[in-house]
Amino acid sequence: MTLTAESVKTPAAASRPMDQLRAALNAALKGKSRVVEQVLACLLARGHLLLEDLPGLGKTTLAKALATAMGGRFARVQCTPDLLPGDVTGFDIFNQKSREFEFQPGPVFSDVLLADEINRTTPRTQSALLEAMAERQVTVDNRRHELPAGFFVIATQNPVEHHGTYPLPEAQLDRFAVKLSIGYPAREDEVALLAEAVGEGRDESPPRPSLKPGELQSLQRQVAAIVASPGVRGYLVDLGRATRSHSRIPLGLSPRGLLIWQRVAQAWAFLKQRPFVTPDDVQEVAPDVLGVRLGLPPDALAGVLDQIIRSVPVPD
């Protein structure tokens, strides 16, 4: 038989920069290759990323590693209850010399913004990010300020049940593409982690960016071109409608959610070096995409998703 497993694979043009990015993230976060893939999918889908987990599991480490590896300008906001919207978006100050108001850009004017512990700040400040995330622009004092094209938000948060948190409003949550949790590492990974921390300590040499400027945009364009056949699109819509009529889901999937779901599935197919989306891609990214926007407690999500996926036949 001449047909081999390799010949069936699609020739992937863009694997080299992706491999570097993947390697950088895996080095930062040991033993979490699936999380890394999910993060990459989110990045390629041009969506914002919400990391939710208990303190100390490596959320910020991952976010920083990603920001560094992507290159570009990196900004970070440590969210506290007294953080004001202007601290994020920037504000006008009066220049005594020119006697004019001048705009002082905030941390959002960057390529990668890390909003650490986003649910520790007030809803007022959280909402300041709405426009920036959705439309990649900021309006201050009736003046519009464009953000960079590759603007990408990584937010981390503690589980909502914790003290001193302001749960993100639904509108805000819907702006994130996926919500990921990292989870505890496996035993051997933790052992390796400890081994690394002993002695001379970690390699403190500043990591180099894995992507050249403009490379990410090119990859994102390739992802957008991944084929989603009419059957798969119908499948997505059917699943979306199923979430709206499910008795336990307080908030059904919005059309924007559907768009993001399709894009993340495209990215997932791209990561698997396949030029088209299969229903399996859709199913595999479903927990990430739906976890952030259905308003379900995390422990109920898996069961409900399982019911929904079982109830909709896959297209043949």
Partner 1 sequence: MVPETDRFVRRLTFALVVLASMATEIAADDLRPVSQSLGLAMAWVALAVIINGFIPLPANSRATPPRWIIFPCLGLAALPFVIEPFRRDWTGAGYPLELQMVAGFRNMALGFAACAGWRLCLRLACVSSLFLMLFAVIMTNHRGTMPVLGLYGAAGSVWLAAVHWSGLRQFFVAGDNALSLDVSGGRPAPLPKLALALGLLVVGGVIALTFVGPQQIAGTLGELFPTSGGTGGFDPFARGGIGDGDDETKGKSPKSTGMTQSDTFLDTPLPSLYDLISDMYGEPYKIQEQERSIALDPLTMKALESQKKPADNLRPNREFAAGRTAPRQNRDMSDRTARAMFEVEGRTPLHLRLTAYDGFDGRVWREAPAGVRQVLLEKEETGHWMRVVSREPPEAFAPPERHRFKLTAPEGPFLPTPPHTTRFWVAMVNDPNFYGWGQDRILRFAERNAPAGTVLETECRVVEPKKLVTVNFPVGRVGERFLHSDLPPDLSPEIPALAREWTRGLPPGWPQIAAIIDRLKSEYAVEAKATDPRDPLGEFLFHSRRGPDYLFASATAILVRSLGYPTRLVSGFYVSPEAYDPVTRHTPVVREDLHFWAEVMLPGGDWLVLESTPGHHTLAPEISLSERLLLAASRLGTWAQEHAIEIGIGIGMALLGFMFRRRLRDRLAVWRWHFIPVTDWRANVTDTVRLLERRGGWAGKPRAGSETQAVWLRRTGHEELIQLSRIIEWAAYAGPLPAPWPVDEVRQVCRDVVRAWTVRRWRETSNIEEVIA
3-state per-residue secondary structure call for 282-315: HHHHHHHHHHCCCCCCHHHHHHHHHHHHHHCCCC
By C-beta, is 165 or 283 nearer to partner 1?
Answer: 283
Pairing label, strands 48-52, 137-140:
unpaired
Consecutive H or E run containing 107: none
By C-beta, is 78 or 229 nearer to partner 1?
Answer: 229
Contact between 22 and 65 (Cβ < 8 Å): no
CB 20 to partner 1: min, Å: 26
271 binds partner 1 (CB under 8 A): no
280 binds partner 1 (CB under 8 A): yes
CB 37 to partner 1: min, Å: 12
Q: What are phi and psi of 107, to 5 degrees?
A: -65, -20
Per CB under 8 A, the list member of 7, 98, 142, 205 interacting with partner 1 is 7
- Give the Cβ contact number of residue 88 at 10 Å: 23
CB 211 to partner 1: min, Å: 27
96 binds partner 1 (CB under 8 A): no
307 binds partner 1 (CB under 8 A): yes
Three-state secondary structure call for residue 73: coil
242 binds partner 1 (CB under 8 A): yes
- Judged by CB under 8 A, the chain residues 211 through 240 that form the site for partner 1 are 227-232, 234, 238
Q: What separation in angstroms does the CA of 142 have from each of 138, 139, 170?
A: 10, 6, 26
139 binds partner 1 (CB under 8 A): no
**Eight-state DSSP code of residue 121:** S
Query: Radius of gyration (Cα) for the chain, nearest Å?
Result: 21
Per CB under 8 A, the list member of 85, 150, 279, 291 interacting with partner 1 is 279
CB 191 to partner 1: min, Å: 24
Q: Which residues bind partner 1 (CB under 8 A)?
A: 1-3, 5, 7-10, 227-232, 234, 238, 241-242, 245-248, 274-280, 283-284, 307-316
